């Protein structure tokens, strides 16, 4: 079965998606990424299964992801993927992911190159599976979140969820 057949088989699948914003300063009112993602998820015909804002603390990131995978086939984590001392998302998820999807980070950085040039190398965007769900982690800039959703995640959302059930 090729990719087109997989996508056809996945068509019509309702996907439940969780959103985690990692930030030491955002609130539900100022979390533009969370607002955007929840609206985009619903516009794509998927269901928002949960939403959390957590500080950039490994325990908080881990607990949020663990809670959301219980009800969500896909969990989108934004923020904390850079290289500053407070950027802990990548390192936390790297210790959790069971199967990694290296292509996500590779494609994200390739597409980011078109927008920000060599600064794309500072991104530690990643994706993989955890407890039967796909976890996708992106930088916290609104442009990065929009890029990841529109160019990578949304086009394959149903396909990703369908593959988990095979």
Q: What is the pLDDT of residues 43-101, one digit of tens each?
A: 999 999 999 999 999 999 999 999 999 999 999 999 999 999 999 999 999 999 999 99
pLDDT for 53 equals 98
Reported as a pLDDT band with limits 50, 70 and 90, residue 5 is: confident
* 131 backbone φψ class: left, alpha, beta (φ>0; ψ -120 to 50): left
Q: Where are the alpha helices (DSSP H) in 55-95?
A: 58-69, 89-94
What ranges do the domains of the chain cover?
A: 14-164
The Cα–Cα gap between 164 and 81 comes to 25
* Strand ranges for 45-122 from DSSP E: 47-54, 74-78, 99-100
The Cα–Cα gap between 141 and 120 comes to 12
Superfamily of domain 14-164: MoaB/Mog-like domain (3.40.980.10)
pLDDT for 9 equals 77
- 165, two tokens: 């059930």
Q: Does the pLDDT value for residue 13 go beyond 90?
A: no
Reported as a pLDDT band with limits 50, 70 and 90, residue 17 is: very high
Residues in the chain: 166
The Cα–Cα gap between 124 and 121 comes to 8
Pair 63, 88: CB distance under 8 Å: no
Nearest to 65 by CA among 163, 125, 133, 14: 133
Kindly report, residue by residue over 152-165, the tens digit of the pLDDT.
999 999 999 999 98
Kindly report, residue by residue over 87-133, the tens digit of the pLDDT.
999 999 999 999 999 999 999 999 999 999 999 999 999 999 999 99
The Cα–Cα gap between 49 and 133 comes to 13
């Amino acid at each position: 079965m090729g990719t087109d057949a997989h996508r056809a088989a996945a068509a019509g699948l309702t996907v439940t998606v969780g959103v985690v914003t990692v930030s030491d300063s955002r609130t539900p009112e100022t979390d533009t990424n969370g607002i955007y993602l929840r609206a985009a998820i619903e516009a794509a015909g998927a269901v928002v299964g949960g939403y959390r804002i957590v500080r950039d603390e490994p325990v908080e990131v881990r607990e949020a992801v663990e809670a959301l995978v219980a009800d969500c086939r896909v969990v989108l984590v934004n923020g904390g993927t850079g290289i500053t001392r407070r950027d802990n998302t990548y390192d936390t998820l790297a210790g959790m992911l069971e199967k990694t999807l290296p292509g996500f980070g590779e494609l994200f950085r390739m597409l980011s190159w078109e927008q920000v040039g060599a600064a794309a190398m500072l991104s530690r965007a990643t994706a993989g599976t955890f407890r039967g769900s796909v976890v996708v982690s992106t930088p916290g800039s609104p442009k990065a979140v929009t890029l990841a959703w529109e160019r990578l995640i949304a086009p394959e959302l149903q396909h990703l969820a369908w593959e988990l059930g095979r």
